[in-house]
Chains A and B, each alone.
Chain A
Amino acid sequence: MQTTYPQSTFSGLLSEYRSEATLILFLAVAFIFGPLFTEYFLTPDNLFNLSRQGSYLTIVSIGMALVLIVGGIDLSIGAVMQLVGLFTVLLLGAGASAEIAFLFALAMGAVLGAINGVLTVYGRMQPFIATLATGGIMTGIVMTYTQGNAVAPRGIDPAFREIGGGAVAGLPIPAAIMIVVVLLFWWTMTNTTYGKNVYALGSNKHAARNIGLNTELLECSVYMLSGMLAALAGYLTFARMGTFQPATAATGGTPVEMVIMAIAAVVLGGGSLAGGKGTMIGAFLGATVSAVMLNYLVLLGMGIWFQRFILALIIIVVVLLARKNERA
């Protein structure tokens, strides 16, 4: 019989990466026709802001994609951003340097994520309930400490604000960091045993166990990475402000909204809540498209709540379409 290797026809690639291709097309359309509706869209200022704004979402979306690939979910990422942000600012206020605070933030995110992982894997809690609870606890801690007020200690390391607001090679530093993160995780997921094993776990947990993978540890590690990435995003968000600002409905968004945006981004990029699916590039594109759309709505003068409403609609439409594709 005939066996041919490898199958890399253009149409094959296109069907494999349909979500990604659609998103690229969408971005092209947005950049070509966007300026027709609002001239400000293509100005360097806006693009600079847009890329920074999009970087936070992209970073957490990468983490969310990892969790969704193994069939889990992490509803705590918004709360992790908050709690880590608060502690980072407090640490800076106590005189720590921006670099120390950075390492601290990552470590704290890893610990918080590991707690989620342990509760889910070893405590056998459903991931959504475990992360909903830990997220609630973290938000509770933040709100208890701040009473809903900003925390702005004096004399913190100026490098902190520089990381959040500065630029490197014309790119906002958060965007540059985001690119590094995306490339790193893209490479990890496609070229290392770790990445392959995570996909194996997401595709079939029993089979993964039966070929000798330590599925528990692997699953835990994914939640840990999600926590670290959320912590990174939190650090960058508050570095931009230079202060800590608790997220409440009044200030334009509870921590849950970051969660839903990240889920939307990953699903847009071809991920699925059923697990086993999703790519890093897809998550990156999904987050970018979300950021562009939100930017658009802002430029068109839509209020924050209208944006939220559109966001909810988009999630519903995207998931419904994804379902339809699965059935076809």
Chain B
Amino acid sequence: MENVLNNALPMTRPTRRASLAELAPALIVVVLLVIGTITSDRFMQTNNILNILQYAAEPSLIAVGMMFVILARGIDLSVGSVMGVGNVTAALLLAAGYPVIVAILAAVAFGAVIGLVNGLLITKGRMEPIIATLATMIGVRSIIYFMTDGAPLFQGIPREFVQIVRGSVTGLPNGVLFLVISFLLAYVLLNHTRYGRHVYAVGGSEETSELFGIKVTRIKISVYVLSGVMAAIAGVVGASRLGIGDPNSGIGYELVAITMVVVGGVRLAGGVGTVMGALSGVLIVSILTNILQLNNVSTHAQHIFLGGAMVGMMLFLSWRDAKKA
């Protein structure tokens, strides 16, 4: 049925034109900047802008990992708990007197292991990503509470560790630097390496990827490991920013990270989405959060808006897809 009229069509080079959906995230960023400026005098001040970026660091690190997972047609609901584990692992080791680098590496390694478990359960164990990562989400959170007895760690965290995020090497706060670096790396990986292109390929069609000789299982495991690593780093960043280890760190972040990625136009069914889009998603969510804060909306209420933003974006996307089809 496909080519009834095709034969008649001349095969000219289609003009390149960014579609509405590709532009939508950037447009929303602009609209939010305008709204922010109108609703609050403080919004456009340098301090506030830096604030937005700094607070964006933790969820956006997670969002970068989540983006890889979603591009490969998966989902990782355990990121919030992994962030918590990264957070308390680093804090506990620091409090016990280990060097900063050891604490960080241990935290990241913990995240990688959990990611590996997710990847293995999903590929070798053929579990649905939702179930596997929901289970690790709960399991890992309970590990956090074993480790800490549920109490925050206030003491024993050295200044040098705190300086990692709060300090400034470039003139910008380091937290902002993390955000920039992680997105740059993601950009290079996804657009300029075989690995990144194969992540897209696997998300597009596992069967065809297999035929093309792409190691599908390996790619799928790797994105969960990456996601685990990024979430653990986010936990370390959180510990550094606040100077405490918090067993509740990361709760609800899976929703925030998925919202960022999805609002940025990354397709949940895999294979489609750009780093620029995801960055826009991060900015949209962060700016929206900031505007809400400036207008004295409580943290919990912010979740209502975020959920609303996600539903809105998803509905927009499915409406557009339906129109195209």
Contacts and interface: CB of A to CB of B under 8 A. Distances in A.
A touches B in complex, CB < 8 A: yes
Contact of A139 (B136, B137, B268, B303): B303
A130 B268 CA distance: 12
Contacts of A308: 138-139, 141-142
Interface stretch (B23-31, B250-258, B279-287): B250-258
B252 A136 contact: yes
Interface stretch (A34-42, A172-180, A226-234, A312-320): A312-320
Nearest to B321: A124
A22 B75 CA distance: 32
B257 to A, nearest CB: 12
A254 interface: yes
Interface stretch (B3-11, B13-21, B55-63, B125-133): B125-133
Contacts of B121: 316, 320
Interface string A93-127: 00000000000000000000000000100011110
Contact of A129 (B125, B145, B258): B258
B86 to A, nearest CB: 17
Interface string B138-149: 110111011000
Given A124-B318, A137-B308, A320-B127, A259 B258 contact: no
Given A260-B138, A305-B142, A305-B145, A125 B300 contact: no
Interface string A115-159: 000010001111011101110110111011001000000000000
B136 A312 contact: yes
A133 B139 contact: no
B127 A143 contact: no
Given A136-B252, A144-B298, A315-B131, A306 B142 contact: yes
Interface residues of A, number: 42
Nearest to B117: A316
Interface string B145-162: 110001000000000000
- Interface core residue of B138, B251, B304, B321 (most chain A CB under 10 Å): B138
B262 interface: yes
B315 A119 contact: yes
B88 to A, nearest CB: 13
A291 interface: no
A209 interface: no
B143 A130 contact: no
Nearest to B128: A273
Contacts of A250: 150, 248
A132 B127 CA distance: 19
Contacts of B135: 260, 312-313, 315-316, 319
28 contacts: A125-B315, A126-B268, A128-B75, A129-B262, A129-B314, A133-B307, A136-B252, A136-B255, A136-B304, A136-B306, A139-B300, A140-B300, A141-B304, A144-B300, A144-B301, A250-B150, A256-B138, A260-B135, A273-B128, A273-B131, A306-B146, A309-B139, A312-B138, A315-B134, A315-B135, A316-B125, A316-B132, A319-B125
Given A136-B304, A305-B146, 14 more contacts: A119-B311, A119-B314, A124-B321, A128-B130, A133-B308, A133-B311, A134-B307, A143-B303, A254-B251, A259-B134, A309-B146, A312-B142, A316-B125, A316-B132
List the 7 closest A-B pairs by CB distance, nearest first.
Answer: A312-B139, A140-B303, A143-B300, A137-B307, A140-B304, A305-B145, A124-B318
